[in-house]
Amino acid sequence: MFRFAGATIALLATLAVAVPAHAAFPEKPIRFVVAFPPGSSTDIVARLVGEQVSAALGQPVVVENRPGAGGNIATTAVMNAAADGYTVLIHSVAYSVNPSMFANAGYHPLNDLQPVAMAAFTPNLLYVHPDVKANTLAELLTLARGSKMAYASSGHGTTTQLGAELLFRELAKVDITHVPFQPATATNAVVSGQVPIASTSMPPAVPFVKSGKVRALAVTSLKRSPALPDVPTVAELGYKDFEANTWVAVFAPARTPPAVLDLLNAEINKAVATRSVQERFATLALEAGPMDRAQLRGYVESEVTKWGKLVKTLNIKAE
């Protein structure tokens, strides 16, 4: 009997050494791998959210910028990282577009990574130079049917291009030439009169709308934006359910434990609800978009389907 008890105690001691109790996540710094350069909207959101998450979880959040290939470099780096929650991806809506636009983006958006949390979004904005004789979207479309026009976007393959193409070519059946720019220069091209029309995200354009240097015609979210509450949505103007947002979300390697993903989702949702983050978002024409993981996965799936179909229809390829 005593030998049996002794053997049992010895076995339990061996197991205790062989299978140590795991410390609660997180027990070391978390790495936010950002798909775009420092100073981009994605980077700004990552740093704002990272600061709050760090304070809440008691561990540093290290922001690492890995730009290139439209975000694919950062995406594949995180896809191949350890699936433990310590390396996550901060990416834009391009995450849902790239697999259909690149011959080989290097990842499957729904299989290789898991959506973790929606950090922020902003509608895209349609606006014109003040010399354009159109005060409404309908007037612009009528004008474009009778004369050759062009629009600037924030870049080839972005939702600022794809949303405009969906509206102009697919829905309104109007041929308006696309002129891609870098995100920082598209608005300036319209302000200077180089291009008469623009479709960009809101942050670079809002100050020029408020100063009268450009005229806003419509936002592309389902609801009006608090940044420009007097500007109607495209959906209000006769194009039901039209939506083309620029968003920033967090993703993790596919096999990351659900409990870790749930914790990160909860903390990021709390972060974007804090007053300091909300106030900073407002200055950038960004909005918080908290979702649980199931809602976010459904949303990403719908974005992949919508933009993939349009990319195929218009035969848009990565440049």
167 and 215 in a single domain? The answer is yes
98 and 150 in a single domain? The answer is no
Q: Quick check: is 25 in a domain?
A: no
Contact 303, 121 (CB under 8 A): no
Domain end call among 185, 209, 237: 237
Residue 160's φ and ψ, nearest 5 degrees, are -70, -35
208 and 133 in a single domain? The answer is yes
CA distances from residue 42 to 36, 45, 53 in whole angstroms, order as listed: 7, 5, 16
Q: Quick check: is 6 in a domain?
A: no
| pLDDT > 50? residue 137 | yes
Share of the chain above pLDDT 90, in %: 85
pLDDT for 84-132, tens place per residue? 999 999 999 999 999 999 999 999 999 999 999 999 999 999 999 999 9
Q: Quick check: is 17 in a domain?
A: no
Here the CATH number for the domain that contains residue 184 is 3.40.190.10
Q: What is the mean pLDDT of residues 145-173?
A: 94
Contact 195, 179 (CB under 8 A): yes
Domain end call among 197, 214, 237: 237
Q: Give residue 220's pLDDT.
A: 96
User: How many structural domains comprise the chain?
Assistant: 2
146 and 97 in a single domain? The answer is no
Domain end call among 237, 261, 287: 237
Classify 87 as helix, strand or coil.
strand
Beta strand pairing call for 177-180 and 150-153: parallel
Residue 71's φ and ψ, nearest 5 degrees, are 105, -5
130 and 185 in a single domain? The answer is yes
Classify 115 as helix, strand or coil.
strand
Taking alpha carbons only, the member of 30, 33, 48, 56 closest to residue 267 is: 56
Give the integer Cα–Cα distance in Å for 251 and 229: 31
Q: Give residue 11's pLDDT.
A: 44
Q: Quick check: is 188 in a domain?
A: yes
127 and 233 in a single domain? The answer is yes
115 and 261 in a single domain? The answer is yes
Contact 107, 142 (CB under 8 A): no
Q: Which stretch of DSSP H or E encloses residue 124?
A: strand 113-128
Contact 243, 218 (CB under 8 A): no
Helices (H), 166-319: 183-191, 206-211, 258-273, 275-283, 293-314
Spell out the residues 6+ positions from residue 156 whose beta carbon is closer than 8 angstroms to its own: 180, 316, 318, 319
165 and 217 in a single domain? The answer is yes
Q: Quick check: is 9 in a domain?
A: no
51 and 183 in a single domain? The answer is no
Q: Quick check: is 14 in a domain?
A: no
Which tokens hold the place of 120? 């922020």
71 and 141 in a single domain? The answer is no
pLDDT for 254-275, tens place per residue? 999 999 999 999 999 999 999 9
Range of the domain at 164: 123-237
41 and 116 in a single domain? The answer is yes
The overall pTM is greater than 0.85: yes
Q: Quick check: is 185 in a domain?
A: yes
Spell out the residues 6+ positions from residue 241 whose beta carbon is closer than 8 angstroms to its own: 222, 235
Q: pLDDT band at 23, cuts 50/70/90?
A: low
Q: Quick check: is 40 in a domain?
A: yes
